[in-house]
């Protein structure tokens, strides 16, 4: 009987220690993670209430530091990438805010007791058009950035891109221990 209780106690301690370690690691990871510039905080209804505001210049500098650290950039590459990132970050930010505003408008329309189907369709078209513009800006920025890199750096750059939307903190360029 004592062995059975000892086994239960050992398993319980192991599970609690593992849970504690994961909680501590997750808190550290979240503390160092800069949120994506256009992800809205969750509101009481489970969705975004207002766009999250991140200063484009601060985000651009954060991105440049991450690129420099991850890709071992030369001084010339840093200068060229700084120009590209600084030039495009405010435009990307503006389009991202437009997407968020359109999504908020759609949400408000859908919250009405009787949503207007035509208005919903128009808002969906607006979201699609604005999101397409945003995606184009991001893709063009990435291509311009990739042109500055060596072939090896380019491979690492595209490997670090979090292609799946909304992954957990620590993925992509934020992942530690990557090459």
Residue pair 38/99 in contact by the 8 Å Cβ criterion: yes
> How many CA within 13 A on the CB side of residue 87?
12
pLDDT of residue 18: 64
13 lies in a domain? no
167 lies in a domain? yes
pLDDT of residue 175: 47
Quick check: helix, strand or coil at residue 42? strand
Length of the chain: 179
34 lies in a domain? no
157 lies in a domain? yes
Non-local CB neighbours of 123 within 8 Å, separated by 6+ positions: 102, 105, 106, 109
Over its length of 179 residues, how does the chain's per-residue pLDDT go in tens digits? Answer: 566 666 666 676 766 666 666 665 554 444 444 444 434 444 544 455 555 556 777 778 888 888 888 899 999 999 999 999 888 888 888 888 899 999 999 999 999 999 999 999 999 999 999 999 999 999 999 999 999 999 999 999 888 877 655 544 444 444 444 44
pLDDT of residue 93: 84
Residue 175: name the closest of 69, 54, 72, 73 by CA.
69
49 lies in a domain? no
CB atoms inside a 10 Å sphere around CB 98: 19
pTM of the model as a whole = 0.60
- Structural domain including 136 reads 55-174
5 lies in a domain? no
28 lies in a domain? no
For the chain, the domain total comes to: 1
**Judging by beta carbons within 10 Å of its beta carbon (0-12, 13-18, 19+), is residue 37 exposed, middle or buried?**
buried
87 lies in a domain? yes
Question: Which runs of consecutive H residues, i.e. helices, occur in 112-150?
Answer: 117-148
């Amino acid at each position: 009987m004592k062995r059975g209780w000892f086994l239960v106690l050992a398993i319980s301690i192991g599970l609690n220690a593992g849970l504690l370690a994961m909680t501590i690691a997750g808190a550290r990871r979240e503390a160092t993670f800069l949120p994506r510039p256009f992800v809205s905080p969750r509101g009481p209804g489970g969705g975004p209430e207002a766009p999250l505001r991140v200063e484009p210049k601060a985000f651009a500098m954060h991105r440049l530091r991450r690129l420099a650290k991850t890709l071992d950039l030369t001084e010339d590459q840093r200068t060229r990438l700084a120009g590209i990132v600084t030039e495009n970050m405010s435009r990307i930010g503006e389009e991202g805010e437009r997407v968020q505003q359109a999504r908020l408008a759609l949400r408000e329309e859908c919250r009405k007791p009787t949503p207007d189907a035509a208005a919903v369709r128009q808002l969906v078209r607006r979201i699609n058009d604005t999101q397409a513009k945003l995606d184009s800006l991001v893709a063009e920025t990435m291509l311009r950035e990739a042109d500055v890199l060596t072939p090896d750096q380019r491979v690492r750059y595209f490997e670090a891109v979090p292609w799946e939307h909304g992954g957990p903190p620590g993925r992509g360029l934020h992942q530690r221990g990557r090459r």
